[in-house]
Every structure is written in structure tokens, then in C-alpha cells.
Amino acid sequence: MRRTPWILLTLMLLLGVVPGAASAAEEWAIEGAGDITSINASEDGARLAVGTHGSKAVVFDKDGQALYEKPAKNVITDVALLDDGTLLAASDDRHLYAYDSAGGVRWDADMKRQVKSVSASNDGSVVAVVVQRSNELLFVNGQTGETTGSAAIGTVMKTVRVSGNGEWIVAAAADQFLHLVGKDGQVLRKFGAGGQIASIAVTDDGDTAVGTNANQVELFDAEGRKTASYGTRDSVSAVAFSNDGKLLGGADLSGNFYIFDRNGKKLWEEKEGQAGRAVEFAPDGKTLYAGTDDGRILKLDVGSVVKGAENEARMKTLLWTVAAAVIVAAIALLLFYMKKRNKLGIFREIWRAKWIYLGLAPSFLLIFVFLYYPAFSGLFHSLYKWQPGGTTTFIGLDNFKRMIHDPYVTKGFGNLLILIVTGLIKTLIPPLIVAELIYHLRSKKLQYGFRTAFTASMVIPAVAGLLIWQNFYDPNMGLFNNFLQLIGLGSWAHGWLGDPKTALWALIFIGFPFVGILQLLVFYAGLLAIPGELTESAKMDGANLWRIVRSIHLPMLSGQFKFLIILGLIGIIQDFNGIMIVTGGGPMDSTYVPALQMYYAATKFSDLGYASALGVSMFAVILAITIINMKFIKSADD
């Protein structure tokens, strides 16, 4: 039985998201290339064409040997390789070039404007071109370079992509819209992306991938419906599909390269250089060519990533199948056990009360979704380096080790210890004293009046109370400093919240005289529940008020003490609202607490794995203190 938790944890980890690893098998560099602007692989994988900011178009074989290099008079903005070995190169020198398989010039077309993008079907039957500040998508004859037609897009375009089979043409405009164009030049469909478009790719099935400056890669089907979205760490600079369309590669401006599957899952991520500029899959889908901003072309072996994804999918299927079989077997055994002991009648009772269970179902569902699921998710992700939209990597207990060396956390635990001690004093003693005073009033009307007067303060919003106290501490116009000046102690005036030596104690003093309404009512209700005969008997034996309180009231209120201690500890350890509103954890780190660090890690730094670990640690502390409290504080019913 002791192995069961470890088995469950192993199953959880196997069902988690653990990106695979890729290795850079080779690295090529083009002298004087600058940024790699574009990469395109031939359908058979024998050749790779590279366009550069250094006005060069270079064709390599599959082993990285340069077959030929062709200069232009300005930046090579895009390249495309055809089945017959023809290279199409677009340039800012206003020319579109075509070279044969040996590097000889086939034709040179003057497009009159800077050529920003070129794309072609594998056989060259469809060649689409985007030129600078043009509202028309141009079609060019791949054999002669002559412009054969155009498609009226109606807005300035940035880039175009043609599917390998030539059936799908997608043009991206500067206004964040994509236009699906037929081979006859008719615009078939228009759909929008979630940000400025930097790169597009299209499959033979008409699915379109779009990289935007909103740190997103978006996937659309042939009808223009958004089917998936992938988060990246920076603006996306390039996207590319594998030949079978099952994998999607990407690059961003921080130098990160990615591989996603079609279900929205990130399979792999790696950082290379300062900025990623281009990506392209080899035909077998096991190699990813990546271009950087320093003229390098990386040949990344991603076969292990693909194989790992396939193995993980099979493992998940197997695990879910086994889990389902175990659940079915457990239910069958339970029913068999109940039948042998004639316990099946309980189902008739449940059926009779079916409407009651149906009424309870929404509450149970909401509790599970909004309470239990986030709690288990936090426990699970505390073992991961987790950034939503980024990579999710299993790191074991590293988040917890990091807490030990985090100065904000260690300082926060010291402050938290002070807050726990002072908080429990404030939670228990003042409300108990007030409850005793009200209880011993002879007039029932006065008891009711004082109860009402204290509970009326509950209508004051907590945030309003904090802001009022913040103004009390104001160094220039605050009540405390003005009062000190009034009584001749102006030298004691102080910036209470601005001094690291006094800020924490100033926070602790907020709420004076610390009569918590809930605590007051709990103690007062406990006093009312004490049998009057006990008090009368004690008085007849000569017991004074202090002896009655010490020997009767305090022991009989042990259940209330237990309840309020647990509630107070949970509130003190989890609460950071007051600190965030009044000081924000400052000055320096003098008022920091672990809960505040958890909040900042989750919201400011998007480091949700570390935030989850902090939350789990606080849960463990609360659980341990609660168990100790339940063990050693005996109530009247124990």
C-alpha cells in the first residue's frame, strides 16, 4: 500500500507534458550573410535554398555543401525551389530571378518594385509574387518570368504562400487579415489573425499557420476557422509545416525555435542565437532547418522529438485504457461484494432520492472544478517549470530547492513567523475579553446593544479600512504624527510605513483594538452555551469572577479556541492583500511574506511552476500546524 502514492505520481508524470529534446547535428554559416531571411527545401530533400540579408541566395545539398551562390543588388527577401531544381529568388532590387539546377540564369524579371515574397507549387505551375506597396497579388509564369495575371486583394500585402500541390494560395495583408485565393485569381475567403502577421505557411489540405507579433502561432482550417493556438516567448518570425502537415515549426525574435503538433501541444523548444529568422522541415519531417540572425543555418535532428511524441501518445492511450479497466474491475468487485452481503438495496434508496442527488450535483461539480481541480493542478505543476504558452518541463523538486535560496522567501518566512504569533494574540485575546465583558453585563438589552454595535462595523469594506489606516500613517498629514506633535512629541514623528524598521510593526498594529467580529461572536456563542448551573455552583462555593473564567469558561471554550486558531492560521499564512495594498512588500523586503512572493511569481513573472511550489509549501505548513492543533488542543467533546 505504501507504493500506491508513488505509482499514482508516476502515472501523473507520464500523463504530463514533457517536451522532447532535439540535437543540432550540423551548423552551416554563410560569410557576409547577415540575417537569414528565408529557407526552402526541395520536395525530394536533395537541396536547400537560403536567402540572406547580405544579398546572397545560396543552394546547398543535403550534406551542407554549397552547390552555388548567386548575388543580388539588394536583400534576398524570399526563395523557392521547384521539382526540376529551379531556384526562384525575390530581391529588394526589384527583380525576381530564376536559376536552373546548375546555377545558370533561366530568366530575370524586372518587377518595377521591391519583391517582398515569392512562393510556388512544387512543379512550378503556380508562382505567386508580392511586390512592395501593391494591392494586387501577381502570378508569374515559372518558365518565362512573365506576369500572367493578378488577384485584387484590396490592401497592401506582406507575404504569400502556395501549397506544394498548388491548390491553395494564401496572402497575408498588413491589416492582420489573410486572403485565400484561387488559381484563377478570385479571392475565395478572408479571415483575421490575432496580431500583425510576420509569417504564414499552408498545407496541401488548405490549413494555414500564421505567426504574429502577439507571441502566438495560430492555425486555421480551409474554411478560415481558427482550430488551434500556440504560445511563444516573443514575436513569431517564421512558421513552416512538415510535408505531411502533422508538425508545425516556428521561430521567434528571441532566438527560440519550436515544434508543435496539430493538437496545440508544444513538443520541443530550443534557444539559438539572438533572433530566429526562418524555419523549414526536411521532407521526412525528421530534420528542421533553422536560420538565425547571424548567418547560421542549423540542421536540427528532431526525429527523437517526433518519435517521443508518438511514444507518448501510445503510452497515454495504454495508461488510460489500463485506468479504465481498473475502474471497471473495481466497480464489478464492489457490486459482487455488495450482492453477497445483500447491500444492493442501497441503489433503490438512491433512486428514490434521485432528485435530491440531482440537486446536489451542480454544487459538487462547481466545488470540483473551482476548488479541487486547481488544488491538484498546483500540486502537479509544482514539479514543473511551467509558463502557460511556453515550455513545460519536468524539474522534480527544483522549485522547492529554489525557495531555500530565494532571499524574498526566507525573509518572508521570518516575517510570517512574527505575523503568526502576533496574529494569534490579536485573534484570541481581545475578542475573548470583549465577549466576557458583554456576557457579564446584567442587562440583556445592554448585551444586545453592545453586540449590535460591534457587529455593525462589519459593513465597512476591508479595503476601505486599510486605506484609512494608510492615511493614519501618512508622514505629513497622518493622524499619528499630528497627534505626537500636538502632545509635544513631534520628534517622535516618523514615516512609519517607509522605514524598514517600523513598517512590519505598523502593519501589525492595523485594526487596533483588534476585536474581530467573527471571533467575538464565536466566543460569545460559546459562553452562552455553558450551562448556568456550573457558574451558579462555583459562585456558591465562593469562586470569584477570575476563578470562574479560568476554571470553567476557558476549558469549556476549548472547541472555539481550536476552531479560531485553525481559521486564524489559514488566514495569516494565505493573506497578502493588506500587505500588497499598504506597502507592496516594501520598503525593500521588510514586509514581504511567502504568499506575496507567490502572487508576484504568478502574475508579474508568469512563473507558475514556482508559484505552485510556494502554494504547496504553504499548504504543507498549514496542514502540519492544523494537525498539531487538533492533536494537542482538547475540546469539551474530545
Q: Read off the pLDDT of residues 507-563 as tens digits, 9 standing for 90 and up.
A: 999 988 889 899 999 999 999 999 888 888 888 888 888 899 999 999 999 889 989
Give percent above pLDDT 90 in the chain: 43
The phi, psi pair for 188, rounded to 5°, reads -90, -35
- Is 201 in contact with 209 (CB distance < 8 Å)? yes
Using one digit for the tens of pLDDT, what is the confidence trace for 478-495? 888 888 888 988 888 888
Q: How high is the mean pLDDT of the chain?
A: 87
What value does the mean pLDDT take over residues 332-345? 85
> Which range among 229-243, 379-393, 436-450, 549-563 shows the weakest confidence by mean pLDDT?
379-393
Query: Which amino acid belongs to residue 192?
Result: G
Unique residue bearing C-alpha cell 466576557: 436
Q: Which helix (H) or strand (E) is 24 found in, with range?
A: strand 23-29
> In this predicted model, what pLDDT tens digit does every residue of 149-185 receive, in sequence order?
999 998 899 999 999 999 999 999 988 899 999 877 8
Question: Per-residue pLDDT tens for 67-120?
Answer: 999 999 999 999 999 999 999 999 999 999 999 999 999 999 999 999 999 999
pLDDT at 341: 84
Overall average pLDDT of the 452-468 stretch = 86
Query: Where do the DSSP E strands lie in 72-144?
Result: 76-81, 87-91, 95-99, 105-110, 115-120, 127-131, 136-140
Contacts with 395 (C-beta within 8 Å, 6 or more apart), sequence order: 383, 384, 385, 609
Collect all residues with Cβ–Cβ distance below 8 Å to 261 and sequence separation of at least 6: 246, 247, 248, 267, 309
Q: Please say if the pLDDT value at position 192 is more than 50.
A: yes
Amino acid, res. 317: T
Residue 329 confidence (pLDDT)? 92
Q: Which of 293-307, 465-479, 584-598 has the lowest mean pLDDT?
A: 293-307
> Domains of the chain, with CATH numbers?
414-588 (1.10.3720.10)
Would you state the pLDDT for residue 309?
Answer: 64
What is the pLDDT, as a whole number, of residue 336? Answer: 86
pTM, entire model: 0.54
Across the range 316-337, mean pLDDT stands at 87
Band (8; pLDDT cuts 50, 70, 90): very low
Q: Are 142 and 129 in contact (CB under 8 A)?
A: no
Interatomic CA distance for residues 57 and 48, integer angstroms: 11
Interior/surface letters 203-234, b for 16+ CB within 10 angstroms, e for the rest? bbebbbbbbbbbbbbbbbebebeeebebbbbe
Contact 309, 266 (CB under 8 A): no
Q: What does the pLDDT look like over 273-325, one tens digit per residue?
A: 778 899 999 988 888 999 988 888 888 887 776 676 667 667 778 888 898 99
3-state SS assignment for residue 80: strand
pLDDT on residue 207: 92
- What pLDDT, on the 0 to 100 scale, is given for residue 24? 47
